[in-house]
Amino acid sequence: MAAGPSPPSVGRRLGLLELLTGAVLVLLGFGLGSALGQKVYTNTWAVHIPGGPEAADWVAQKHGFINHGHVFGDYYHFRHRTVVKRSLSAHRPVHVRLQKDPKVTWAEQQVSKRRKKRDTFEEFEDPKYKEQWYLYNNNHNDLNARGAWELGYTGKGVVVSILDDGIEKNHPDLMENYDPEASYDVNDGDPDPQPRYTQLNDNRHGTRCAGEVAAVANNGICGVGVAYNAKIGGVRMLDGEVTDMVEAQSLSLNPQHIDVYSASWGPEDDGKTVDGPAKLAKEAFLRGITEGRGGLGSIFVWASGNGGREKDSCNCDGYTNSIYTLSISSTTQNGNVPWYSEACSSTLATTYSSGNLNEKQIVTTDLKSKCTDSHTGTSASAPLAAGIIALALEANKNLTWRDMQHLVVRTSRPANLVANDWQTNGVGRKVSHSYGYGLLDASSIASLAKTWSYVGPQRKCVISMLSEPRNIGSHLSINKTVDACVGSGSYVTKLEHVQGQITLSYNRRGNLAIRLISPAGTRSTLLHPRPHDYSSEGFNDWAFMTTHSWDENPSGSWTLEIENVAGASDYGTLTQFTLVLYGTSSPSSGASEESQSGDDSCKTLDLTVKCIECNAGYYLFQQRCVKECPAGFAVGSQPLSYAVGNAILPASVPACLPCPLPCVTCSSLSPQSCLSCPPHNYLDAASGTCLHLSPSMRESPGSFMVGPGSQRPQLEPSSRMPITIAVLSCVAIIATFGGIFLLLQLRSGAHIKLPSLEAGGGFSLGGNRVVSYRGIPTVWGDEGLNTDSDNEEFDVHNERTAFIKTQSAL
């Protein structure tokens, strides 16, 4: 009986009653009037007085008005001094007196009109929404998600898939947005990605990431996703052995249906690994960006890594270092670099995530229909970015994968993010190795997406910067002035990604710092020293990537600096430095190219105003018409995958199609017309095909990229033979070097890890792969696990163990 709220005292009740009555009267007087459609009269009049402003002033003064200004013509805005501001009835006496004045030809008391401010936004009823500080807060230290929602963007019509350990598809806050077509179980080979339940909830990661993107809004459960009307799926691929094929299968799931793939995994963040996608995963990325989303390109959002404590560099992770992935780092609630964050030049932008114990973490859906407020790490950042990208895609479905990166570069905000390495690049943008271009801004990116036009086809200019091997010693600087392939179809005047493709040997890799300085003076740290990396394997054709020179003009002097930070006793040789410039040729970002291939080149547009058929003399490329196919493509015939009602259109149209594999560039779609080949292949000039190098030849620098389409457009096929001979001689020299080097190592008794093919980065054998979550640093993936591990073994390690480690570290 004692339970229940105590009744208020009589006095308080009366007070309440008065308050209520007052409120009702106020409502009746004002709000209700307009709510019921009744007119609400203001104390202002519109008055027509010919005779100039003096006459208007005179009339105003005479009848008790203030002249609030001239509207146009002879119309004036009058406000009465004593009439109440809002009333349900017109003020007849004042009105009649005014109208009868001989100087006044017309007057009207103004009525208040219902005008809803477009930016008003209904708060969600979801109980945890108020704790989602990173989506919206009063200080505006947030991702500006609410701004995008107010513009009407909520992810409708966009499909996101989380590549992780599964997704709880029947979670009450995900169910409504769950998309089975964006889901698959690669681990068990079935369509149901439901996580495997364990006592320690090891497989909660994917479900947590999914809720960040698309938890349902206004259902009274948990919080809301950034793109709360997007469709969300999950691929179960981390709960088992991860092979090259498992990765490739996950990255290629339903690419005509899924728009955005969010991945929060990669090679171990132990600060000593150099590894990246192997054969199949590489091809999955390539096919994704060329064929996914009807040729616009799948969007791969990638967490940059959690190896901050181990001083890891995300440029040593071939997934995040790839130009095809949109790499995302984290910042804390207070705008600091989190302890787990990895710095590198390939990161494009940042979202919020966890930080120190006094800073808030991420609210999202959790396993077993629960809700959590403690999601952490860069793996919490990638899904927030995926959600924001979904909002931008909703604003403009025609964006290519590169358009999206352009939008991120332009709209991310460096303000309020603390780092000691912010620099202003050659086009005036601030950029940092910890944050890329700054914090994503959902409202800005969606707004700019709306009016963005295609940036134009990607060009690739490949320049060999080294004529002979160079001794690194304790410091090596390479400088060369380049013309960015001027006079060829690969000419780049406006940069996107830049790669420094490097092959070098060194007795202790982790002692090296590598920097690339652009003609505009922008300094990108391609590699910072990694104290745990004692490897003597060096780098084998590793393509260090930087985004920091985006939109700069690449013509001019480029400098590569290699520095040994430890001591003078280290030694090694740089054998390859190839500069790869990606970008466009037009100085303005796309508007002019858009008009070149504008309306007259396209014959048929579909319902979404995408070109599906070109006029004679033009070829269809990425839903636009071009006169020449870009590098990597050749003219072919593409089936017309379009149907409106039962309309009959031609079965196929001339289009630019990707070169047959393994050609990188080609003169036609025939398998015998390769012009250049991928690494570890060479071009057989006689047959026009790419041939695999034998394993002993693989150690050589990647100068096999030589070919008219990419590296040396001016080279004639007949000139390739001497190059092949030269390269083979180089191989012999390098092999000798390598031998001597290894011998010295063995003699010095240093702690040497024997070279393994896996760590070369370019050519993993596709066996067991060491893959780690990005939620928090993990311990699974230790060498012992590489053997015959079954699922039970994973329970013992991974997130929880690491989480405890994490907490103690704090």
- Catalytic residues, by residue number, are 164, 205, 379
Q: How many CA atoms lie within 13 A of 382 on its CB side?
A: 37
* CB nearer to Ca ion: pick between 63 and 205: 205
Strand order in the sheet with 475-482: 475-482, 556-564, 512-517, 523-527
Shortest distance in whole angstroms from residue 237 CB to Ca ion: 11
**How far from 311 is each of 273, 533, 563, 637, CA to CA, in Å?**
11, 10, 17, 50
| Residue closer to Ca ion (CB basis): 524 or 689 | 524
- What H or E segment, with its residue span, contains residue 213? helix 205-214
Report helix, strand or coil for 715: coil
Cβ proximity to Ca ion: between 135 and 221 the closer is: 221
197 near 273, Cβ under 8 Å? no
Q: Are 772 and 303 spatial neighbours (Cβ–Cβ below 8 Å)? A: no
Which C-beta is closer to Ca ion: that of 327 or that of 585? 327
Instruction: Tell me the residue nearest to Ca ion as measured from the CB.
Output: 305
Provide the β-strand partners of residue 42. Answer: 86
Nearest-5° Cα angle at 337, 799 to 496: 100
Question: For the purposes of burial, counting CB atoms within 10 Å of the CB of 600, is it exposed (0-12), middle (13-18) or buried (19 or more)?
Answer: exposed
Torsion, CA 504, CA 508, CA 510, CA 512, rounded to 10: -50
Query: What CA–CA distance (Å, rounded) separates 148 from 395?
Result: 10
Type of residue found at 286? L
Containing H/E element for 261? strand 260-263
Point out which residues pair with 76 in neighbouring strands: 47, 70
Provide the token pair at 536. Answer: 């003597």
Residue pair 708/675 in contact by the 8 Å Cβ criterion: yes
- Residue whose CB is less far from Ca ion, 123 or 192: 192
Give dist(CA 596, CA 592) in Å, integer.
Answer: 6
Amino acid at 178: Y
Q: Is 685 helix (H, G, I), strand (E, B) or coil?
A: coil
- The residues pairing with 109 across neighbouring beta strands, listed in sequence order, are 45
Determine the Cα–Cα distance for residues 89 and 40; give it in Å rounded to an integer: 7
Report the residue number, 53 or 180, with the smaller CB distance to Ca ion: 180
Which residue, 60 or 348, is less far from Ca ion as judged by CB? 348
Q: Are strands 231-236 and 184-185 parallel, antiparallel or unpaired?
A: parallel
Contact status, residue 670 vs residue 752, Cβ threshold 8 Å: no
Cα–Cα distance between 530 and 508 in angstroms, integer? 10
* Integer Cα distance of 591 and 583 in angstroms: 15
Report, in Å, the least distance between residue 562 CB and Ca ion.
Answer: 21
Select 543 or 734, whichever has its Cβ closest to Ca ion.
Answer: 543
Length of the chain: 810
Question: Cα 408–412–418 angle (5° rounding)?
Answer: 140
Residue 347 CB, nearest approach to Ca ion (Å): 8
Residues near Ca ion (CB under 5 A) are 126, 173, 185, 188, 190, 192, 215-216, 219, 221-222, 269, 305, 307, 312, 317, 322, 325, 327, 346
Is residue 495 within 8 A of residue 554, CB to CB? The reply is yes
* CA distance linking residue 784 with residue 780, whole number of Å: 9
DSSP class of 664: S
What is the rounded CA–CA span in Å between residue 176 and residue 44? 50
- Alpha-carbon dihedral angle through residues 560, 564, 570, 576, given to the nearest 10 degrees: -20
Separation CA 25–CA 687 (nearest Å): 91
Both tokens of residue 382? 């990638």
Coil/strand/helix, residue 364: strand
Q: What is the DSSP string of 104-163?
A: -SEEEEEEE-----TT--PPP--TTGGG-TTT--TT--S--HHHHHHTT-S-TT-EEEEE
Question: What is the rounded distance in angstroms from the CA atom of residue 113 to the CA atom of residue 509?
Answer: 71
Please tell me what DSSP assigns to residue 31: I
What is the number of other CB atoms lying within 10 angstroms of the CB of residue 634? 21
CA distance 195 to 201: 9
